[in-house]
Homo-oligomer: A and B are copies of this chain.
Amino acid sequence: MSLNADRDFLTWTRRIQEETEACLRDVLPAATLVPQRLHEAMRYAVLEGGKRVRPLLVHAAGNITGASPSRLHMAAAAVELIHCYSLVHDDLPCMDDDVLRRGKPTCHVEYDEATALLVGDSLQSLAFQLLSEHALAESSETQLSMVKLLARASGSRGMAGGQAIDLASIGKTLTLPELELMHIHKTGALIRASVLLGAYCGRQLEEAELERLDHYAKFTGLAFQVIDDVLDTEADTATLGKTAGKDATQEKPTYVSLMGAAAARQFGEELYQSAIDALTEFDDRADRLRDLAAYIVKRQH
C-alpha cells in the first residue's frame, strides 16, 4: 500500500469502527430497561471494545456488491454480537477462566457468572433479531439465507463446535491439520460468515464470485488465527488487552508451539498471499478486503 492508500484505509477503518460502535449502542437494549442489570452487562460486554474485525469485513465485502451502509451496519452488528457472546462465554470459569478482556475485567468478574451466562445467551438472540427485523437484502429469500448462514456459522458445526474441539485439545499434541480443523470452526466460520453476509446485503453475485469471496475469507480467517498465536507468544498483556502467554500456560496447541514463531509468521504471510490471490478477478471495489487482509497479518495486537 502507498502511504496515501494506507492513510485512506486507516481513515475508513476508524470511521467504520466508530459507526459500528454507534450502531451497537443503538441496537443494544438501554440499561434502564428491565432487567436492568442484564442489559447493563450486555452493554458492558459489547461496547467500547475490540477491533471490530468482523464488522470491517462485512463492510469491505459489501463494498463489492454496492450494499447500503445502513444494511451493512445491521449485518455487522449481528456478527459482532455473536462474536461478543462467544467471548463472554469463553471467558467463564468453566471454559478459559479468564479475568481480563479488552483491557477490562471480564463480564463474569465485573458482574457474576449467572449474569455473564445470560448476557451471552441474550446477545445470540439479539443477533438473530437484528438479522430478521430490518430489510437487509434485495429479497426476503436472500435475507433468510443470511439468517441460515449466521446460524450455521455460530453453532456446533461452526464457532461453538470449534470451541468444543479446542477444549478437547488442551494438553494434547495436535497435528497441523487437526489444529487447522479447530480454527476453521472456532474463528474461521464467523469470519467467512462476515464476508458473505456483507456481500448478501447488496446486488446478487454469481455462485463463482461467492466462492472466491469464501476462499478469501477462509485464508484470511486462518491468517488471523496464526498471527493471533504469534502475538500471544510475543506481546505483553498490556498491548494485547487480554492475558498474554495464556496458550502456553494452558498447554493449548498453537501454530507457534507446532511450528515455532518464525515459521508461523511465515505461514501467516503465505495465507495472506492466498487470500489476495482469491480476489484476483475482482476490481478495485475489493480493495477494502485486500487492505483488511494486510491489516490482519501486519497488526501488532
Contacts and interface: CB of A to CB of B under 8 A. Distances in A.
A167 B38 CA distance: 11
Contact of A155 (B126, B131, B155, B156): B126
Contacts of A89: 117-118, 121
B132 A147 contact: yes
Contacts of A164: 35, 37-38, 115, 118
Nearest to A165: B35
Contact of A124 (B39, B124, B143): B124
Report copies per complex: 2
A34 B125 contact: no
A160 B128 CA distance: 14
A187 to B, nearest CB: 15
A171 to B, nearest CB: 14
Nearest to A141: B140
B155 A129 contact: yes
Interface in A79-110: 85-86, 89, 92, 94-95
A132 B151 contact: yes
Interface string A143-171: 11101101110111110110111011000
A139 interface: yes
A180 to B, nearest CB: 13
21 contacts: A34-B165, A34-B181, A35-B161, A94-B113, A94-B114, A95-B114, A118-B163, A121-B154, A122-B156, A124-B124, A125-B160, A128-B150, A129-B148, A129-B155, A131-B147, A132-B147, A133-B148, A139-B140, A140-B141, A140-B143, A143-B144
Contacts of A34: 161, 165, 181
B139 A154 contact: no
A7 B227 CA distance: 65
A133 B128 CA distance: 14
